[in-house]
Chains A and B, each alone.
Chain A
Amino acid sequence: MSNLLLFPIMIPLIFATILMLFPKKIKMQRLIALIGAAATLLAAAFLLAKVYGDGIQVVTLGSWPAPFGISMVSDLFSALLVATSSLIVLFVVLYSFPTIGIRREQSFYYSAVLFLMAGVNGAFTTGDIFNLFVFVEVLLMASYALIVHGGEKQQLRESIKYLLVNIISSALFVVAVAFLYSVTGTLNMADLAVKIPQIENTGILTVIAVLFLVVFGFKAAIFPLYFWLPASYHAPPMPVLALFGALLTKVGVYAIMRTYTLFFTMNTGFTHELLAIIAILTILAGCVGALAYFDVKKIIIYNIIIAVGVILFGVSQMNEAGVQGAILYLVHDMMIKAALFFLVGIVAVIFGTSNLRQMGGLIKTYPVLGWTYLIAAFGLAGIPPLSGFPGKLLIVQGGFEGPQFWGSIVILATSLIVLLSAMRIFIYAFWGEPVETKPLKKSAYQAMLIPSMILVAITVFFGVGAELFMPFVSGAAEVLLNPSLYIEAVFKE
């Protein structure tokens, strides 16, 4: 079935629309949201198997020939990300049941989550630069609704800043598309990849490449453009924060990876070196923040910024090890960030605060939570059998093979800081003198813990069984490093 690659976009869209019909019936809302997320995950898994078996899947909407219609392209890279994001949304829906609260559930919470899912999956699948803009707006619009959902004072104050930054970056995206259109005369990504190498005036293309880096850098929170993220992400409730931390910045990272490997390859000496320098500065800026705060949410939020830097450094090397490592680390990071936010969310609920100084001694009363958090923290830092290790190893190897070996050294050194920042939560919250905790019903605790534990188990499996996933990753990297495969697949139709 050739329309299979549209299913992960269409299913959440349809289910989100259905959910808008009866906002007050919470049980139905929960059931239908769960069915929608599970069905999307199933479709994404089928898509991944199909792309792995039969190669790149392409649908040009309305059967117009390739550069004239909107192409939807699903190569292994995008299919892998669609499957991962669908998995995370399913767990976020499960984690929302005990945590989000009835008042929010009754006002279109699950619709917004599924619209965000449709936008993210669409942004990963599209093969048209303006269509990417539209899907990014779909997911941003859903994220605006989610960040202000509930209308607390802090949420209102921070969502104004989040809205403003994203409106400016969207306007810049339109400007960048306008410039690209005036230079090349096309919007289809595969057609752009054909036309850009034919243009002799690479100066203007380099300017457009940097403009796209600025646009996607706002979304992905790279070094000078990450200033909006820590305060904005601190505001919404925990399941929303897990959703944002796992998916939203990764769309920006995906867009940078796609544009910088597919068509902005005319002047790699400048653009990719710039990307490498910015990636390293991003890691350093994130490390400063991760050590500076005594707030469990803030520490994990700054770890998002560090991971964005690590992934982009892998891409900037443009060799096989670097790109493979970046893909592995991207998939790992999406899952581990969601799991960590789930776990610190439980800790914050138990203590009634996210301030580390008011916590302590949790390991005696909640041992399972403690050990699960420890495994997730080791996974984040990249301790060998766990999921952060293979990706980071390949990225470091790519750095040593490529021109920026000093970047690899920075990544290795900052891994220790990542470990320190995550262990600090463990030491302050789980060791030491027990502090008075809020009474928590056993059923509510289990409803929060079980999805988090399953997600941590999946990341452990992803790390231990990295060999199993390598064929997918190397296939994805092959398409990124040889744009001709992508171009042929699109124009074959």
Chain B
Amino acid sequence: MEIIMSVVIGFLFMAAVYLILSKSLIRIIIGTGLLSHGAHLLLLTMGGLGGESPPVVAEGVSVSDYADPLPQALILTAIVISFAVTSFFLVVAYRAYQELGTDNMELMKGTEDHE
């Protein structure tokens, strides 16, 4: 199971890198979304995929049957952080489109008084 997940995560990272290297800003933001998906799935996979029961204390379940609760807490934290950052990034991209009139990264080079 971990092998399949690793291949899937690798594919997500590949797609993310390809999108981040493109010209259009919105494709780049989609790429960062895929990148954080990959990172979160990797956190889940690296915690180990053993354990059938959800990590909620229940009658008649032995300790070894629970899934590892720690990676789930870490992912939950990482998800809200990347959600906040992505929404901020989208708003900045929208403002930049309004002010600069382009979403092409090639046209966003240089400084105002570039030497």
Residues of A that sit less than 8 Å from B by CB = 130, 133-134, 137, 141, 144, 148, 151, 153-154, 156-157, 159-161, 163-164, 167-168, 170-172, 174-175, 177-179, 181-182, 187, 231, 234, 293-295, 353, 355
Contacts and interface: CB of A to CB of B under 8 A. Distances in A.
Contacts of B42: 174-175, 178
B74 interface: yes
Given A159-B92, A170-B85, 5 more contacts: A134-B81, A154-B112, A156-B100, A171-B82, A181-B70
9 contacts: A137-B81, A153-B112, A159-B92, A160-B93, A164-B20, A167-B32, A167-B89, A177-B43, A294-B115
Contacts of A154: 111-112
B115 A153 contact: no
B30 interface: no
Contacts of B61: none
Q: Which 3 A-B pairs have the closest CB atoms?
A: A182-B46, A178-B46, A174-B39
A156 B95 contact: yes
Contacts of B46: 178-179, 181-182
A156 B92 contact: yes
Contacts of B36: 167, 171, 174
B115 A164 contact: no
Interface of A is mostly: helix
Nearest to A144: B88
Contacts of B32: 164, 167-168, 171
B35 A171 contact: yes
Interface in B52-111: 70-71, 74, 77-78, 81-82, 84-86, 88-89, 92-93, 95-96, 99-100, 108, 111
Given A141-B85, A231-B111, A151 B39 contact: no
A182 B44 CA distance: 10
Interface of B: 20, 25, 28, 32, 35-36, 38-40, 42-43, 45-48, 70-71, 74, 77-78, 81-82, 84-86, 88-89, 92-93, 95-96, 99-100, 108, 111-113, 115
Given A156-B100, A168-B35, A295-B115, A174 B43 contact: yes
Contacts of B84: 141
Contacts of A294: 115
A157 B77 contact: no
Nearest to A164: B28
Contacts of B113: 353, 355
Contacts of A157: 96, 100, 108
Given A160-B93, A179-B46, A168 B20 contact: yes
Contacts of B92: 144, 148, 156, 159-160, 163
Given A148-B92, A182-B46, A153 B100 contact: yes
B22 to A, nearest CB: 12
A38 to B, nearest CB: 30
A293 B89 contact: no
Contact of B43 (A141, A144, A170, A178): A178
A179 B71 CA distance: 12
A144 B85 CA distance: 9
B96 A160 contact: yes
Nearest to B86: A167
Contacts of A168: 20, 32, 35
Nearest to B113: A355
Contacts of B40: 174
Given A134-B77, A144-B88, A151 B95 contact: yes
Contact of A174 (B20, B78, B86): B78
Given A160-B108, A168-B35, A178-B39, A151 B99 contact: yes
Contacts of B45: 178
A65 to B, nearest CB: 16
Contacts of A179: 46
